[in-house]
Amino acid sequence: MEKIPLETPGVDAQIRFRDCFSVRYIQSAAVLCRLGFAIEQQCLANEVPAELRLRHEAFILNAVLSTVAFLESAVNELYADATDDTCFFSDGEHREVLRSIAGKWHNARNFDRAPMITKYQKILEITTGSPFDEHDQAFANVRILTGIRNHLMHYKREWVVIRTSPVALSGDESTHDKFDKVLRKKFAINPLASKNQPFFPDKCLGHGCAEWAVLNSVIFTDEFFRRLGLPVPYEGVRDELATR
């Protein structure tokens, strides 16, 4: 992966550079997505060996986690560049955008504590006065994706009920029921899951989910940086982000 241009303040000075882990994460998510897809294609008409099933689960699970790590890193890196007064663009308008972020959101502790979605929204509010609409499809999908990641990373055991009919609205619904309602029609279910397994996580976490995560996160960040008038950090590897 190409790193941000080297900075050499003087002949005897140390060489410094600023890495972009957001790029690494989205590249990783795309690779893992493709690997999961290959296993699904290989096993569609065959019995799935236990080792291959485990690999598929690892690829898909980590594709989803890496996608949200990409979203978090992208906004954190942007804020770091703004507050460190580090601009790699020659365009004065680009520099002004970063300076406006640093000038109007200079409390780093407040930034660190803010939820990821809030960071994106506040930066847009500061720079353009126009954050994402709550009903924007990409925004809504990223919010759901973040909910999946949070559930997986901070997992708490709960009863899972195998239902024979669609989930009805209820105040007693489980996390699995909620994911069933919002995700079932978003993408193709995992073809390696058996009929009697629950939607989440078994039928949900397949290539369809991983691909949905990668594509929607890129759509979301494309629009975010477009509104800021800044180039996306992953433009140089866009052709490496195929999902199948």
Asked if 53 and 37 touch (Cβ cutoff 8 Å), the reply is: no
What would the pLDDT profile of 78-134 be if each residue is shown by its tens digit? 999 998 877 655 566 788 899 899 999 988 889 999 999 999 999 999 999 999 999
pTM above 0.95, yes or no: no
What's the CA gap between 68 and 29, in Å, rounded? 9
- Could you tell me the two tokens for 204? 């949900």
What would the pLDDT profile of 149-198 be if each residue is shown by its tens digit? 999 999 888 887 776 665 554 556 788 889 999 999 999 999 999 988 99
| Amino acid at position 156, single letter | K
